Amino acid sequence: MKKILIIVALIAITLLNGCAGFQNSNIEERLSENIPITSNEILDKGVIDLKGIIEVSKKITKKEYPSSDAVLVDDYEKVIYNADGTSERWDEVYEKSLTEKGKRENSTMSLHYTLPYSTIVLKKLEIIKPNGKVVPIDIEKQSKTIVNPSQMNSNIYNPNSKVINVNIPNLEINDIIHYISYRKTVKARVPNTWCDITVLEYTSPIKNYKIEVIAPKELPLEHILIKDSIKGSVKSKIIKYKDAISYSWEVKDIPRIFKEPSMPEYYTVTQRLLLSTTKDWETLSKWYWNLSKPRLDKITKEMEDKVKELIKDAKTREEKINNIFQFVSQKIRYMGITTEEEAPGYEPHDVDITFNNRHGVCRDKAALLVTMLRLAGFKAYPVLINNGPKKDIEIPNNFFNHAISCVENEDGSYTLMDSTDENTKDIFPAYLSDKSYLVAKPEGETLLTSDIISPEKNLMEITTTGEVNKKGDIIAETTLLFNGINDGVYRGYFLRNKQEKRKLLFQGKLKKILPGAELLEIEILPKDLSKMSIPLSVKLKYKAENCLITGEDTEVFPIPWLGTSFGMVNFILDSTGLEKRKYPLKTEIACGVKESLTLTLEKSYKNIKFPNYETIDNASIFWNKNLERSKNIISGDAKFLIRTVEFSAKEYLVLKKNLEDMEYNKRKQIILSK
């Protein structure tokens, strides 16, 4: 379905889209009379006028919407939340399929919920034919509830994370899907608070949409904000009653968006409504500290002894931190079952359980690391971080999807650590650069953004020495040193694959660089790849016959620059096919490759002409290449850095020009005069 529920962080956020004609529900009258709201007796049946929908949908055709597969004809969503943060939500949707693709996508729908927080049920599901005929769907027969399978990829099993998959049979092009869902939240993740993110722009056009939020007088909305607004597209209204406040927003005729490769999550760059009852981020910081503190205090003598053992030979502060981090990272396996009672998905297990079992999920490992660091005398705290797009700092909410740890430094800054990655020696991975995080402290802390790790710390360093014999064969040896993110990614690949597959990887890359190249030897160090303290390196010996392209008086010599094929820097710019962009390009990681080579020519040449390479140096990109000759020895060096993790639409145009210039320079070759 185009109108879907998305899991953002650990919470399901409803993507809201459109409403055409309302029947009189007299809810406002009930509010004004201070009568208890029993909306279910009305909303369960639906409040949108079916005749109006059929009339409006006649004008919703492929001709009117040539670039769309479906159109959200109407959507009415009503939320009633209570002072304790619990709530009820009704969502009535009419969506019309215009193409085969739209029909296929609308033939199934998935509804997510997590116990004990909430449940969701379909109150009504039916197909409206173009002639107005209503075909009801047997919801019970066509539905199946399963445990959310996506969590298995992370070695996490939460039997209470559920998905209702619903099949909608016999749907045809130009049919309208009509459904009413009812979500009941019986437990707030953060007690006595409520928040929501509502997307008002989506990949299907929105004809009409209205959302209404009923708040108790004692817990009004502290923050209301529309971000990335489309001018004049939203009408809002606030009505105050004796014991409640009604907030409503309505949009009409919103064009569809077109997703772009490697763009940020669309719900962070499109028109959206942000709501929250939470005063500030400090309130959430203190909540998570108070939630975690009892778990952090479950210290045992064995834990104390282990900390003493880990730091006894450490000479510096950094060594102590690193030794404790490596223990939790590598000796405590990342896996677990969610069984917490107070705040499942957020609350860690008691640290002694994680320590004794030698396994836990992110929040468990983060809590154990915090406790062990505190035992060593450091000011350590749990941290909530959003491993994804940056959050809207204006509106405090509890939508986070990862837990890590930190140590507070003397200057008040924080050293962040993520102990969930078992295949890296870095205490903080590059892929968590430029992310929103919240340190849990007793006095509270505001929302912060993690630093962009310098590309110099994520370098692939390549050194090549070799010779070119009189036949034009290249016989060379290359050493690749993997730093930062390169170590983590390649080491993980090597651990998952046997020697033969590793060899095929390098053999294939060499053939692309030097056609006909044969890999003679490969050595990967350390032999025991689980030894994270030893840097990852690979030594290659290879031969490529008849590499010189011979003419009447000259020969063209293809230099074996391996840096064009190895290193993360070569893969994170794959999504640059668009001429221009509306949304930013996310690269996630700042990284680079640095290369040097020395080649001895056995054959003498009258003259050697080197290409002239133009350096690119700006805030986002650095690219440089040099070659020189000393008698019969050719030496060269090259460097390519991506310095940022996101390119704006304007910066993307500059990037495209930079990449064109780089590609032109890469084609330049050495010309040898006979």
- CA 440 to chain centroid, in Å, comes to 22
Within 10 Å of residue 107's Cβ, how many Cβ atoms? 17
Q: pLDDT for 405-437, tens place per residue? A: 999 999 999 999 999 877 677 899 888 999 999
Q: Is 668 helix (H, G, I), strand (E, B) or coil?
A: coil
Q: Do 403 and 363 form a contact (C-beta atoms < 8 A)?
A: yes
One domain for residues 537 and 493: yes
CATH number where 369 lies: 3.10.620.30
Over range 601-624, report the average pLDDT. 88
- b/e map 407-436, b = 16+ CB within 10 Å: bbeeeeebbbbbbbbbbbbbbbbbbbbbbb
Largest CA distance in the chain: 100
Q: Is 437 helix (H, G, I), strand (E, B) or coil?
A: strand
Q: What is the pLDDT, as a whole number, of residue 342?
A: 58
432/417 Cα distance (integer angstroms): 10
Sort residue 655 into left (φ over 0), alpha (ψ -120 to 50) or beta. alpha
HEC per residue, 107-118 = CEEEEEEECCCE
Q: Give the lowest-confidence range in 171-180, 259-268, 549-558, 619-628.
A: 549-558
Q: pLDDT for 434-461, tens place per residue? A: 999 999 999 999 999 999 999 999 999 9
One domain for residues 59 and 157: yes
Dihedral sign computed on CA atoms, order 239, 245, 246, 249: positive
pLDDT at 34 over 60: no
The residue written with tokens 């620059």 in the block is 561
- Residue 355's φ and ψ, nearest 5 degrees, are -65, -45
Out of 397, 415, 449, a domain closes at: 449
One domain for residues 501 and 582: yes
Domain that holds residue 322: 282-449
Q: What is the pLDDT, as a whole number, of residue 393?
A: 94
One domain for residues 377 and 503: no
Q: What is the pLDDT, as a whole number, of residue 38?
A: 45
Q: Give the lowest-confidence range in 4-8, 308-312, 486-490, 591-595.
A: 4-8
What is the model's pTM? 0.84
Residue 33's pLDDT band, with cuts at 50, 70 and 90, is very low
Residues 6+ apart with CB under 8 A from 410: none
* Average model confidence (pLDDT) across the chain: 88
Q: pLDDT for 147-193, tens place per residue? A: 877 655 554 556 778 899 999 999 999 999 999 999 999 999 899 99
Q: Give the lowest-confidence range in 10-24, 73-87, 376-390, 498-512.
A: 10-24
DSSP assignments along 596-629, one per residue? EEEEEESS--SEEEPP-PPPEESSSEEEEEEEEE
Q: What is the pLDDT, as a whole number, of residue 388?
A: 85
One domain for residues 563 and 642: yes
Alpha helices (runs of H) in 24-98, residue ranges in sequence order = 27-32, 40-43, 50-57
Q: Give the lowest-confidence range in 18-32, 196-210, 286-300.
A: 18-32
One domain for residues 183 and 228: yes
Q: What is the pLDDT, as a whole number, of residue 147?
A: 86
Over range 194-205, report the average pLDDT. 95
The residue written with tokens 């002409």 in the block is 609
pLDDT at 30 over 50: no
251/391 Cα distance (integer angstroms): 24
Q: Give the lowest-confidence range in 14-18, 320-324, 338-342.
A: 14-18
Closest alpha carbon to 354 in 335, 373, 377: 335
Q: Do 183 and 119 form a contact (C-beta atoms < 8 A)?
A: yes
pLDDT more than 90, % of the chain: 71
Q: Quote the Cα angle for 421-423-424, to 5°.
A: 80
Q: What is the pLDDT, as a whole number, of residue 5?
A: 37
Residues 6+ apart with CB under 8 A from 463: 478, 479, 481, 595, 596, 597
Q: Do 272 and 200 form a contact (C-beta atoms < 8 A)?
A: yes
Q: DSSP assignment, residue 22?
A: B
119/89 Cα distance (integer angstroms): 11
One domain for residues 373 and 518: no
Q: What is the pLDDT, as a whole number, of residue 341?
A: 56
One domain for residues 188 and 115: yes
- Residue 141's φ and ψ, nearest 5 degrees, are -70, -35
One domain for residues 89 and 219: yes
399/397 Cα distance (integer angstroms): 6
One domain for residues 401 and 480: no
Q: Give the lowest-confidence range in 37-46, 236-245, 482-491, 627-636.
A: 37-46
Over range 463-471, report the average pLDDT. 92
Within 10 Å of residue 67's Cβ, how many Cβ atoms? 9
Q: Which amino acid is at 440?
A: A
pLDDT at 310 over 80: yes
The residue written with tokens 């006595």 in the block is 192
CATH number where 46 lies: 2.60.40.3140
Task: Give the pair of three-digit tokens for residue 549.
Answer: 């392209």
Q: What is the pLDDT, as a whole number, of residue 334?
A: 84
Residue 23's pLDDT band, with cuts at 50, 70 and 90, is very low
Higher pLDDT, 259 or 554: 259
Q: What is the pLDDT, as a whole number, of residue 22?
A: 34
One domain for residues 226 and 100: yes
Out of 277, 296, 325, a domain closes at: 277
Alpha helices (runs of H) in 387-498, residue ranges in sequence order = 485-496
Q: DSSP assignment, residue 434?
A: T
Q: What is the pLDDT, as a whole number, of residue 152?
A: 53
Q: What is the pLDDT, as a whole number, of residue 471?
A: 86
Closest alpha carbon to 72 in 90, 89, 43, 48: 48
Q: What is the pLDDT, as a whole number, of residue 27?
A: 41
Q: What is the pLDDT, as a whole number, of residue 598?
A: 96
- Residue 63's φ and ψ, nearest 5 degrees, are -65, -40
Q: Which amino acid is at 137?
A: I
Q: Which amino acid is at 396?
A: P
Q: Structurally, how many domains does the chain consist of?
A: 3
- CA 611 to chain centroid, in Å, comes to 41
Over range 500-510, report the average pLDDT. 93
Residue 395's pLDDT band, with cuts at 50, 70 and 90, is very high
Out of 247, 277, 307, a domain closes at: 277
One domain for residues 139 and 28: yes
pLDDT at 515 over 60: yes
Alpha helices (runs of H) in 164-280, residue ranges in sequence order = none
